[in-house]
Chains A and B, each alone.
Chain A
Amino acid sequence: MDTNILSIPILILLPLIAAGIIASPLLYNNSIFTRRFAKGFSILHFFYASMFFLLNTTNKSLLTFGTSNSHEPYLTSRIPLLDNAILHQIGIHVTFSLDNLSILMVILTTLVFTITIVAAKLFIKEHIKMFYSLIFILESILLMIFTTNDMFVFFTLWELELIPMYFLISMWGNKNAKASATKFVLYTFGGSLFLLLGILLIYYTNFATSGVFSADINQISFLTKNPLIQIIISVLLLIGFGVKIPIVPMHRWLADAHTDAITPVSMILAAILLKLGVYGLIRFNMQILPLGFTILAPIIGILAIVNIIYGAMLAYNQKNIKKVVAYSSISQMGIILLGIATLNQIAYIGSVFHMISHALVVMGLFMIVGIVKQRFKTHNMKRLSGIASVMPRLYGFSVLISLAAIGIPFLSGFIGEFLNIYGAFNSVMSIFKLFALITVAVLVLSALYILNLIHEIFMGSIPEKYKHVQDIAVHEFLVLSAISLLIVILGCCPFVIINFLSP
C-alpha cells in the first residue's frame, strides 16, 4: 500500500478542516454555497476513505479468536504535536491505526455522513453553518474513535463526541429535544463512569503484570490469568458500552433521542453512534479480555435475545412511526450483539456485516419517516393512510427497504442475520444453539412491526385533503436510490465485505 497517498491523519482531520472553513467568515451566510461545499467535501472524503479499502488487497489484519491478544494493525501513524514525550512517560501514545475492522467502520462513517449531508438539505432550514460545522466535527471525532490506538484517547473522544451530539439533537429537534438530549448525555455519562473505571483497571493491571505503563490497545498483553479480574473489567466495560448499544435495561434514552431529533441527526444516531458501542465491545472486551468475554458470553447472549424480542415487541406497540423505527434498532442491535457474543468467525463477520447493513436500512427508514412527516405533518400512524396512491415512488423504496429490514434474501439484511444465526448455531458453547433457534423464531416479530408500519401508512385510501401531495423529488429520490442500491449490492455481492474480513 502506498502510504504517501493514504495517510490516516489526513483522513481523520479533513472533516475538522471542513468544519473550520464552514464556520469561518469566509463563506458569510451563503447557505447555498455552504451546502454545496459540504456535499462536495463529504463525497470527496468518502472516496478518499474508500481508497483505503480498495487499495488494500493483500494486507490483512484481523482479530483472532481465543487466547492470543497481540494484534498488529497494518497502518499506523502518529499525530506529531499531540504525541509527545510527556504523554509517553505515562504510556499514552496519540497514534491512530487501521485494521480491517477499522477500515470498514471508517468507510461506513464517511458513507453515512455523506448520505446524511445530502439528505440534510431537505430538513435543515436554519442555522445552516452551525449544523454543517457540528456535523463535520462529529465526523472527525467518530473517525478518531474508530482508528485510535490508545485507551485514554478513546475515552476522551468517547466523551467529546457528546458535545456536538447534544447540540445537534437539541438545536434542530422538536420541542422535547432539549430534554431528550440531556437524557442522552446523562445516560452516556453514567455509562462512561464504568467505562473509565474499566479502562483504569486495565491500565493498572497491565502495569502490575508487565511493569510497563501502556495504554495501547494493540499492545496490551493481558498476562493475568485471574478470571475474576477479567470478569470485573468485562462487566464494567459492558455497562459502559451497553448504554450506547443499547442493551435493554439501559435503552430508555434511545427512543426519546431518536424521535425528538431531526431526521438527519436520527440517521447518524442510529447508523453510527449505536455501532460505536459494538465497536468498543469488539476492541476492548473481545480483543483485550478474551477470557472474561468468553465467561460472560452466555450472559451477553441472553441480553441479546432480550434485546431482540423486547425491542420488536415495543416497536410493534407504537403509534408514532418514528418510534417504531427507533425501537426496531434495539431489536436489530440485539442480533449484532448475539453475533459478537458467539465468538466465532462466521458470526463475527455476520455481525460486522449486519452493522453496515443495519446502518443503511435504518437510514432509509428514517429518511422515509422524515419525508412522510414533512408532507403530512404528523408522526401518528393512525392519522396516516393510503400514501402509496399519491407517492408510488416512495412506496416502492419503502417496500424495498422494509424487506431488507425483515431480512429477505438478496437484500443486505439477510446476509447478516443468516450468518449470525448460522454462526451462533456453530458455536462451541451449546447454549448458543438454543439462542440461534430462538433468534430464528423471533424473525417473524420483525416482520410484524415492519409490515404493520408499512400497512398503516401506505395502504388503504388517502384522505381527501392529501390528494394533492407531491411524490418525492429529485433530491429525495437520489438519497433513497443510493441507499437502496447499496442495500441491493451488498445483498447480491456479500463477498465484498466477507472476503475483506475472512482469513
Chain B
Amino acid sequence: MLENFYWIILIPLWLALIIISAKFAGYNLSKKNTVILSTLSTILTGLYSGYCCFYTFFHAPVESTFNFIKIGNLEFNLGIYIDSYSSIIGLTISVITFAVYIYSAFYMRDEKDLSRFYALLNIFNSTMLGFIFSPNLFQSFIFWELIGVASYLLIGYWYKKQQAANDAKRTFLIHILGDMCFLAGFIIVSYCVTDLTQAMELASLPFSELKIIVVTLYGATTPLLYTIVCLLFIVAALIKSAQFPANSWLINAMSAPTPVSALIHSSTLVLTGAFLLIRLFPMIAMDRFSVFIILCIGLITAIITSIAAMVQTNIKRILAYSTSSQIGLVFVSLGLYSPTVATVYLVAHACIKAMLFMCSGVAIKLNRDSQNIIFMGKLRECMPVVAICFIIGALSLSGIGFCGFNAKHMISDLFCFSCFNSILFGLISILTTFYIFRLYFIVFEGKNTSVFVGEPYKLTPLSYKLIYTSIIFLAVIAIGLSLILPAGKFCIIYLLNVLTIVLCYFLYNTNIKLKKIPVLYNIALNGFFINRIYYWGETIVYKYLCVTASFIDTYIIGGVEYFIKLSTILLSKIEHSLQTNNFQSYISYGVWTFILTIGAFISIYTFLMQTFGV
C-alpha cells in the first residue's frame, strides 16, 4: 500500500512545474500563495516519509519499480524503495525543507522573483527525495545528476551577479566530475553483474539484491578492479559531500541566498555522498583498502577544514568549512564500519547546521547583507532568541550538549581505541569548538559597539514570527533528538571542549590583541588553495589545450586544405603553359597520354582480375 503513494514525493516537482509554466504564460503566483503551497507540499512529503519511518520499524523494506528503458531483456528501472535508512533521511530532509521554506519567506521577502525561487527549491526537494528513495543505483545516478543541476540553478539564482553565476558554474563543473565517476562505476558494476549472471533485470543494480550483486562482482573481478570500482564511487561521494580534494565548491556555493545554503549546502546535498556510501556499504566493506581511504579522507577533511574555519572572516564560509569538517566525521564513522552511526550523525548534523545557517542569515540581514563578521557584534541584545538557538547549535556542534553530544560520542566510542586516535579526535573536537564559539562571541557578544549605527534593518512582526517558527522548530528537534539517542559518556574531551569555550571568551570578548601567524594564516584563509587548483585547471591547463586544438585546426588541417587548393591552381597553371600552339608538341603529348592510359588500364584491370577472382 505504501509503495502506491510514491507520487507524493513528486508533488513538489509538479508544483514547481506549475509555477514555472504559469510564469512562462505570464501569470505570476502571488508570494503568499507560493509560500503556502510549497510549504503544504513539503508537509505532505514529510508526513509520507514520517509514515514510512513508522512503517519500517515493524515491516520489511518495500520496493516498487517500473521499466524506464527496456531493450530486449535489459531493463533499467525507476521506482521507490522504502527501508529504514531512506525513510529516516527522507524525514530529515522534509523537516529541514519545511523550516527553510518558512524561513525563506522572511529572508527573500524583497525578491521580485520569489516564485522562481520556490519553484527551484521544490525541484531540489523532489530530486533529493527521488535520490533518497531510489530502489536501484540507476535511479540514484539519475537523481545524483539532477541534484547537481538543481543546486546549480539555485546557486545561480541571482544571475545578474557575475560572481554568483561564476560560482554556480564552477560548482556544477565539479559536480559533473563526480557524476562521471558515478557513471563509470555504475557501468562497470552493471556490466560485470549482468555478464556473469545473465540476469538482465539486475542491470539497474537494485539495492534489494545488493548481496547477490556484491558476491557476483567480487567473484567476477580482480581485487584491483574491485578496488577501482569502489574508489570511483568514493570519489563521486566525496565530491558531493565536499570532502578533502573537492571541498572547495562548498565555499563557492556560499554565494547562493542564505536559505539555499541552509537547505542545500549544509544539510541535504552534502548528505547525498555519505548516503551513497551508506547504501553501498556492503560492497565497499569487502575491500579493506577502500574503507581505509574513506577513513583517511574523513580525517584529513575534518582537520584541514577545521583549521580553515578558524581564521575565516565570512560568516557563511565558517559554517561551510564546518560542514565539510562534520561530514568528514561521518566519513570517519563509515571508515570504522559503522553506517548506523554515520546515519545518526548525518541526521543530527543536518538539523544543527540548518539552524546555524538560519541564525547567520538573521545576522547577515540585520547587518545589511554584509557577511563579514569583523563588522558584526552585539547581536544577542537585539535578537536574544536567535542567540539562544545559536548557542544550542554551537553546543551540539562541539559535542557538549543536546543531540551533538550523543552523536559525537557515538563516533568517539568507535574511534578512540588507541592513544593516538584519542588525541586526533580530541584535536578535531577542540578545533570545532574553537571556531564555532569564536563565531558566537564575535557575532553575538563582541567588542564591536558601533555595528548597528544608522538605520537598522526593519523586521516586521511577520518576519519575527517566521524566523522564530523556523529556528525554534529546528532547535526543538535538536533537543528532541538528544532524548531519543543513547546518551554518551562524559570524558576528558568534554572538559577540554569546555576549556576551549572559556579560551574563546577571553580571546574574542575581551581586549586582547591577536597576532596573525604570517604564512599559515594566509594558507588557512585561502582554504589551502584547493580552489585555485580547480580554477587553474580550467582556465589555464584546459584553456591552453583548447588553444592548441584551435591552432592545429587552423594551421595544420587548414594548411592541408590550403595546400590542396594551391596545388590545384598550380596544376592548372602548368596545364596552361603546355598550350604552346606548337603542333609537334601536341602530337607528342597525345602519344604519351595514349601509352600511359593504356598501361594504367591494363595494370588496373589485371589487379582487379587477380584480387576479385574472376
Question: A: which residues have CB within 8 A of B?
Answer: 204-205, 208, 224, 226, 228-229, 249, 252, 310, 313-314, 316-317, 345-346, 349, 386, 388-389, 393, 395-396, 399, 403, 406, 408-410, 414-415, 418-419, 421-422, 425-426, 436-437, 440-441, 443-444, 447-448, 451-452, 455, 458-461, 477, 481, 494-495, 498-499, 502-503
* Contact across chains for B183 and A440 when beta carbons are under 8 A apart: yes
Chain A residues, CB < 8 A from B67 = 495
Known contacts A229-B612, A447-B176, A455-B166; decide if A388 and B72 are in contact (CB<8 Å).
no
Specify which chain B residues have a CB less than 8 angstroms from the CB of A316 in the assembled complex.
542-543, 546
| Pairwise interchain contact B561-A409, C-beta atoms closer than 8 A | no
Query: What separation, in Å, do the CA atoms of A437 and B186 have in the docked complex?
Result: 11
Residues of B within 8 A of A410 (CB): 142, 146
B145 engages A386 (CB within 8 Å)? no
Q: Evaluate whether A444 and B557 lie within 8 angstroms (CB atoms) in the complex, with A459-B162, A494-B69 already known.
A: no
B153: interface (CB < 8 Å): yes
Q: Chain B contacts of A436 at CB under 8 A?
A: 187
Inter-subunit contact B160/A461 (CB<8 Å):
yes
In the bound complex, residues from chain A placing their C-beta under 8 Å from that of B190 are 422
With A204-B612, A317-B546 as given contacts, are A447 and B172 in contact (CB-CB < 8 Å)?
yes
Q: Who on chain A is nearest to B182 by CB?
A: A440
A409-B145, A459-B156, A459-B166 known, 18 other contacts, Cβ within 8 Å: A224-B612, A252-B558, A313-B545, A314-B553, A317-B546, A317-B549, A349-B71, A388-B160, A396-B24, A409-B146, A421-B187, A425-B188, A426-B195, A443-B179, A443-B183, A444-B176, A459-B159, A502-B70
Q: Which of B401-439 contact A (CB under 8 A)?
A: none
Q: Can you list 11 pairs linking A and B with CB atoms under 8 Å apart?
A: A208-B613, A314-B546, A316-B543, A317-B547, A345-B72, A396-B23, A410-B142, A443-B183, A444-B176, A498-B70, A503-B72
The 9 nearest A-B residue pairs measured at CB: A459-B165, A409-B142, A317-B546, A313-B549, A313-B546, A460-B162, A502-B71, A317-B550, A316-B546
Contact with A along B145-165 (1 / 0, CB 8 A): 110010001001001111001
Residue from the set A224, A317, A406 with the largest chain B CB neighbour count within 10 Å? A317
Q: How many A-B Cβ pairs are below 8 Å?
A: 138
B20 within 8 A of A: yes
Q: How far is the CB of B376 from chain A (nearest CB, A)?
A: 29
Complex CA distance for A271 and B237, rounded to whole angstroms? 37
CB-CB under 8 A for A451 and B172, given A421-B187, A499-B70: yes
Which of chain B's residues have a CB closer than 8 A to the CB of A403?
149
CA distance A499 to B149 in the complex (A): 29
Q: Is the CB of B162 within 8 A of A345?
A: no
A345 to B74, CA, bound (A): 11
Judge if B281 is at the interface, Cβ distance under 8 Å: no
Q: Does B177 contact A (CB under 8 A)?
A: yes
Q: Please tell me which one of the listed residues B24, B160, B183, B547 contacts residue A389 in the complex, with CB atoms under 8 A apart.
A: B160
Min C-beta distance of A343 to chain B, whole Å: 15
Q: Is B169 an interface residue (CB 8 A)?
A: yes
A313-B546, A422-B190, A460-B162 known; A437 vs B20 contact (CB < 8 Å) = no
Residues of A within 8 A of B561 (CB): 252
CA distance A386 to B142 in the complex (A): 31
Q: Which of B141, B156, B191 contacts A425 (CB 8 A)?
A: B191
Chain A neighbourhood of B156, CB < 8 A: 459
Residues in A whose Cβ lies below 8 Å from that of B614: 208
Closest to A317 in B: B546
List B residues at the A interface (Cβ < 8 Å).
20, 23-24, 67-72, 74, 141-143, 145-146, 149, 153, 156, 159-162, 165-166, 169, 172-173, 176-177, 179-180, 183-184, 187-188, 190-191, 195, 538, 542-543, 545-547, 549-550, 553, 557-558, 560-561, 611-614
Interface centre among A204, A310, A395, A444 (most CB of B within 10 A): A444
Shortest C-beta distance, B535 to chain A (Å), equals 13
Q: Are A460 and B538 in contact (CB under 8 A)?
A: no
Partner of A396, one of B20, B69, B176, B538: B20
Tell me if A447 and B173 are in contact (CB < 8 A): yes
Task: Tell me the smallest distance from the CB of B253 to a CB of chain A, in Å.
Answer: 15
With A208-B613, A317-B546, A443-B180 already in contact, the answer to whether A408 and B146 are too (CB < 8 A) is yes
Given A313-B549, A408-B149, the answer on whether A419 and B69 have CB atoms closer than 8 Å is: yes
Q: Which of B23, B176, B538 has the most CB of A within 10 A?
A: B176
Measured between beta carbons, the chain A residues less than 8 angstroms from B72 are: 345, 502-503
Residues of B contacting A415 in the complex (Cβ-Cβ under 8 angstroms): 69
Report the separation of the CA atoms of residues A228 and B613 in the bound assembly, to the nearest whole angstrom: 12
Which residues of A lie under 8 Å from residue B146 when comparing CB positions?
408-410
Query: How long is the Cα–Cα vector from A436 to B187 in the complex, in angstroms?
Result: 9
User: Which residues from chain A contact B188 at a C-beta distance below 8 Å?
Assistant: 425
Residue of A208, A444, A447, A498 touching B69 (CB-CB under 8 A): A498
Residues of B within 8 A of A208 (CB): 612-614
Interchain nearest-CB distance for A152 vs B (Å): 20
Q: Which residues of A contact B180 (CB under 8 A)?
A: 440-441, 443-444
Q: With A252-B561, A316-B546, A495-B67 given, is the CB distance from A388 to B159 under 8 Å?
A: yes
Contacts of B546 in A (CB 8 A): 313-314, 316-317
The answer to whether A494 and B68 have CB atoms under 8 Å apart is yes
> Are A437 and B173 interface neighbours, CB within 8 A?
no
Please indicate the chain A residues that have their CB under 8 angstroms from the CB of B542 in the complex: 316, 448
* Chain A residues, Cβ within 8 Å of B169: 451-452, 455
Q: How far is the CA of A410 from the CA of B161 in the complex (A)?
A: 29
Contact present for A422 and B611 (CB under 8 Å): no
In the complex, A285→B611 CA distance in Å?
20
Tell me how far the C-beta of A464 lies from the nearest C-beta in chain B, rounded to whole angstroms: 14
B23 cross-chain contacts in A, Cβ below 8 A: 396
Bound CA–CA A208/B173 (angstroms) = 57
Q: Report which of B74, B176, B557 forms a contact with A249, defined as CB distance below 8 A.
A: B557
B173 touches A444 (CB 8 A): yes
**Which residues of chain B are within 8 angstroms of A313 by Cβ–Cβ distance?**
545-546, 549-550
Kindly state the separation between the CA atoms of A395 and B116 in the bound complex, as whole angstroms: 13
Are A495 and B184 interface neighbours, CB within 8 A?
no
Q: Is the CB of A399 within 8 A of B153?
A: yes
Residues of chain A contacted by B24 (CB below 8 angstroms): 393, 396, 477, 481
Q: How far is the CA of A163 from the CA of B454 in the complex (A)?
A: 74
Residues of B within 8 A of A226 (CB): 611, 613
CB-based contact B187/A440 at 8 Å? yes
Bound complex: CA A410 to CA B13 (Å): 13
Cα A460 to Cα B169 in complex, Å, equals 13
A128 CB to closest chain B CB, in angstroms? 30
A149 to chain B, nearest CB (A): 24
Closest to B551 in A: A317
Q: Provide the bound-state CA to CA distance between A398 and B504, in Å.
A: 50
Q: Which residue of B lies closest to A426 (CB)?
A: B191
CB distance from B125 to the nearest CB of A (A): 16
CB distance from B403 to the nearest CB of A (A): 35
Question: Shortest CB–CB separation between residue A194 and chain B, in angstroms?
Answer: 15
Write the chain B residue with the least CB distance to A433. Answer: B191
- How far apart are B554's CB and chain A's nearest CB, in angstroms? 9
B553 proximity list for chain A (CB < 8 A): 252, 310, 314
A503–B68 alpha-carbon span in the complex (Å): 17
A205–B613 alpha-carbon span in the complex (Å): 9
Chain B contacts for A409, CB-based, 8 A: 141-143, 145-146
**What CA separation (Å) do A458 and B70 show in the bound complex?**
38
CB distance from B211 to the nearest CB of A (A): 24
Give the CA-CA distance A65 to B69 in the complex, in Å: 21
Whether A425 lies near B187 (C-beta < 8 A) is: yes
Q: How far is the CA of A252 from the CA of B177 in the complex (A)?
A: 31
* Bound Cα distance from A212 to B553, whole angstroms: 46
Residues of A within 8 A of B176 (CB): 406, 443-444, 447
Can you name the residue of chain A whose Cβ is closest to the Cβ of B143? A409
- Most interface-central of B69, B177, B557 (chain A CB within 10 A): B69
A357 to B167, CA, bound (A): 29
Q: Closest A-chain residue to B185, C-beta based? A: A440
- B183 cross-chain contacts in A, Cβ below 8 A: 418, 421, 440, 443
* A196 CB → nearest B CB, Å: 16
Q: Which of A313, A346, A426, A448 has the most CB atoms of chain B within a 10 A radius of its CB?
A: A313
